[in-house]
Chain A
Amino acid sequence: MHEEIREAFEQIHATEQMKQSVSKYLLQNRRKTAKRTHAFLLRPLVSACVILMVCIGVGNWYFFEMPVSYVSVDVNPSIEIILNRRNRVTSAESRNKDGERVLKNVHLEGMDYLEAVELLVECEAMQDYLTKDAELTFTVASANAEEILAGLQNSEVTVHYQGMCRSADLDTVTSAHQCGMSLGKYQIYQLLSEYGAGLTADDCKNIPMCHLRLLLAQYEDGKKGTVNYDEIKKLEVGCGHEGGGHHHSQNHH
């Protein structure tokens, strides 16, 4: 029986067609696998490129675009200069109509903050506002405020126009923007509120910077009580442009 079974099974062979079919199937499978392998090998490369591009993008934003410091320049025009990590201007925004008028004529983006401030203050449009009773105020909100303030205090424009340099908390930047004021004006509004001047944010927006500074000086000298409606109306006119400011209504220039 052993031999019979052996001989019977010995007759069974895989046909050539079966072998060829297997070879063909395996060849097709190898091609598919090779394609998948290429795709598999390319995938990490593509991922690495994407990660690299994202890193470059984030790095670029971090070093060149991310707002780090805010310098508010207030005469009556209120302009805010936003600086990156390298103290270069990433953008300049006007915070009132006079500021808008001045900014139309100067482009500060990409400049060092001191160059930008000097260009801004010395520009023809700003000169219209820098009359003898005008007051130039720089307000800095930054983790690096000391260095920026030191630079501003020693700058030609501060010395020439007897500008005042102040620092503010970075937290106040958002609050100031929400109230539609520059950082410098908002800081004075806050101080006047502490003295109980009773002015609203809208009142302060309409009062020129020079009058706000004078009002603050009065409170610092001992003035008491709130500012009444008539006083507010008087404060709104005078040295500034907005609300009938001096440039148009009083023809000082």
Chain B
Amino acid sequence: MRSEQEVEQAIELYSDMIRRICLLHLNNHEDTEDVLQEVFLKYVLHSSVFESKEHEKAWLIRVTLNACKDLKRKLFRHSTVPLDVLSEEAASVMPEQIGILEIVLSLPAKYKDVIYLHYYEGYTAREIGMMLHKKENTIYSLLSRGRELLKQKLGGGRNA
């Protein structure tokens, strides 16, 4: 079991990232809190040593994505556009960025994860493939189609 200090550091370091991944899949803060608790409990109980911070981060991303999928399955909440949750963020996010987030969140689930991981977290297609247990070419395809969808929704003409 990990020490309290180690876990507190991880909460400080990774809560925002987990919150963002939850935003892609979940509809409200309560569900996000559930996932945060579940992910960090798994982290506390995870006895293996991480090779590096990057390894630790990738592990947490994978666990978070799985926790979101499990929760959705449990609650029978299928891929609806999680716009409700954005209204909860309205106070802290600038209006023009709310628009961008709305567009990203309106993408089909299979594109949202790769778009977020590539554009925000900066992972390469190969790294995302390893994380999501998908082939690198599949990730390239998902990124390409996702980018097209984004362009269309953003009004086209912009370069990704």
Report A's interface with B, CB cutoff 8 A.
Answer: 1-2, 4-15, 18-19, 21-23, 25-27, 29-30, 33
Q: Which of A7, A10, A12, A26 contacts B41 (CB 8 A)?
A: A26
Chain A residue with the shortest CB-CB distance to B8: A23
Residues in B neighbouring A27, C-beta threshold 8 A: 4
Tell me if B104 and A8 are in contact (CB < 8 A).
yes
Report B's interface with A, CB cutoff 8 A.
Answer: 1, 4, 7-8, 11-12, 15-16, 18-20, 23, 29, 32-33, 36-37, 40-41, 44, 89, 92-94, 97-98, 100-101, 104, 115-116, 119-120, 147, 150-151, 154, 158-160
Q: How many pairs of A and B residues are in contact by the CB < 8 Å rule?
A: 93
Q: How far is the CB of A40 from chain B (nearest CB, A)?
A: 13
Residues in B neighbouring A21, C-beta threshold 8 A: 33, 36-37
Q: Which of A11, A19, A25, A26 contacts B93 (CB 8 A)?
A: A11
Chain A residue with the shortest CB-CB distance to B154: A1
Residues in B neighbouring A19, C-beta threshold 8 A: 11-12, 15
Q: Which of B32, B119, B150 contacts A6 (CB 8 A)?
A: B119
Q: How far is the CA of A125 from the CA of B33 in the complex (A)?
A: 90
Tell me if A1 and B11 are in contact (CB < 8 A).
no
Pairs across A and B, CB under 8 Å, 20 listed: A1-B150, A1-B158, A2-B160, A5-B104, A6-B119, A8-B104, A11-B89, A11-B93, A11-B94, A12-B19, A12-B20, A18-B15, A18-B19, A18-B32, A19-B11, A21-B37, A22-B11, A22-B40, A25-B40, A27-B4
